[in-house]
Amino acid sequence: MNILYVFAHQEAKSFNSTLKEAAITSLEKNGHDVRLSDLYSMQFKPVLDRDDFTQPKRDDIFNPFLEQMNASKNASFSRDILDEMEKVKWADFLIFQFPIYFTNMPAIMKGWIDRVFAPGFAFNPATQSAYDTGLLKGKKAMVVTSTGAEESWYSEGGPHGDIRELLRYLTHCTLEFTGLEVFPSHIIFGAGNMSQERVDGEIQRYMEKLDSVAPKES
């Protein structure tokens, strides 16, 4: 299986980076081909702007939706976007890993989605190509995330509410919107203060999750 691993964390020595490296090693050991988009290391531009388009449709006013639709028709996105789109086309399974910032994904991950999952490429309102008919239909996806706060803060009745409901803007309104089949999110709570024993346990738990969603190639 072809797997695109989209990763957002600044620190190479962080728990998230350790988890990502373990995941890629395990996936490759199981016979999968993995491509990594390490957004901070790539210095990926998170801002959707005029520079994203090499053949703009209009010069007098900037309409992101119209420019993305136009660029999807004639492949006139900037090189960095085209490169990421090629990875998405190649992939059977997309994994998005990031820490939670203010109950949300980091801006650089949101920017990747804004710029890469463009109308005309990932969905198309003009042809009602969304959800069951989204343009990424046939591919799978999963969100892997960590929180600084303990699970009680992100549970039903807790201060923030159920994290799975908070993530629906991403899992349902974004990923499923584009036609992706989305596996349940893998969540690590209280990641900012873990013992080595717990770190090892969380890595093992994630490896078991990966074995279930991306079984060993026969």
Spatial separation of the C-alpha atoms in residues 46 and 214, rounded to whole Å: 29
Instruction: Judge contact between 131 and 123, C-beta under 8 A.
Output: no
**Coil/strand/helix, residue 204:** helix
User: Which tokens sit at 128?
Assistant: 């009602």
The residues annotated with a catalytic role in the active site are 148, 154, 160
Burial 17-33 (b: 16+ CB within 10 A, else e): bebbebbbebbeeeebe
Instruction: For CA atoms 202, 204, 209, 214, give the dihedral sign.
Output: positive
Whole-Å CA distances, 52 to 59, 68, 77, 114: 13, 9, 6, 11
